[in-house]
């Protein structure tokens, strides 16, 4: 018997007994929508993001138009905000998207406890877009904020698409000399528009 066979035999004879995963009972935290909204805002601001509540979505559309008129490459993926950038698709690589200054993307829900938003791949149009743009703008309904990650996972379908992501705040790192750097490996800023309906 070779050394390899001895090792593989020892591994297979020492497998641990299979144990069923425990069933975790999750109590829904009952908090008022206004409280969840306030907590989401406070948490996201504390990690470097900005939150703006808005009732008139036309103001966001006007903002996009003004930014485009200034000559910046602004990508909009949301039809209700005006002209959508049809050139953005899954086949584009980082070189093609490198010049994106600002991107407007929708989110499915927000999480009050950590300020994260859930974005499906179809909402971002290209997996690179939320991370390669200089400034990221997320638009979502204010009523789609849940208190905890437990509740967020109960509401999203992780198997619905090939990719999705929880995103919280702008990119940041303090690995180098313990100095905080914003935008080291992603967007330099994150603005979340909470649309009141």
Domains in the chain, CATH or no CATH each: 31-195 (3.40.50.10420)
Which residues of the chain are under the pLDDT cut of 50?
A: none
**From CA 133, how far away is CA 128, in angstroms rounded?**
8
| Edge-to-edge order in the sheet of strand 135-141 | 50-54, 189-195, 135-141, 102-106, 74-76
pTM, whole model, 2 decimals? 0.83
**From CA 109, how far away is CA 132, in angstroms rounded?**
22
Give me the pLDDT at residue 107, please.
97
Give me the pLDDT at residue 29, please.
67
Residues 115 and 170 sit within 8 Å (Cβ to Cβ): no
Give me the pLDDT at residue 69, please.
92
Residues 126 and 97 sit within 8 Å (Cβ to Cβ): yes
Residues 132-161, buried b or exposed e (16+ Cβ, 10 A)?
bbbbbbbbbbbebbbbbeebbeeebeeeee
**From CA 118, how far away is CA 188, in angstroms rounded?**
19
**From CA 140, how far away is CA 112, in angstroms rounded?**
14
């Amino acid at each position: 018997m070779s050394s390899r066979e001895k090792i593989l035999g020892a591994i297979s004879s020492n497998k641990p007994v299979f144990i069923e995963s425990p069933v975790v009972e999750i109590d829904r935290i009952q908090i008022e929508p206004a409280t969840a909204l306030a907590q989401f805002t406070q948490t996201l601001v504390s990690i470097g993001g900005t939150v703006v509540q808005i009732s008139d979505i036309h103001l966001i559309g006007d903002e996009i138009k003004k930014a485009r008129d200034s000559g910046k490459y602004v990508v909009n993926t949301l039809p209700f905000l005006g002209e959508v950038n049809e050139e953005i698709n899954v086949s584009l690589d980082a070189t093609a998207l490198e010049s994106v200054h600002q991107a407007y993307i929708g989110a499915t829900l927000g999480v009050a406890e950590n300020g994260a938003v859930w974005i499906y791949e179809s909402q971002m149009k290209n997996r690179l877009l939320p991370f390669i743009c200089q400034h990221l703008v997320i638009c979502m309904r204010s009523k789609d904020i849940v208190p905890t990650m437990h509740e967020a996972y109960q509401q999203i379908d992780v198997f619905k698409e090939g990719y999705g992501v929880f995103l919280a705040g702008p990119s940041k790192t303090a690995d180098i000399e313990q100095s905080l750097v914003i935008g080291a490996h992603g967007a330099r800023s994150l603005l979340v528009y909470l649309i009141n309906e």
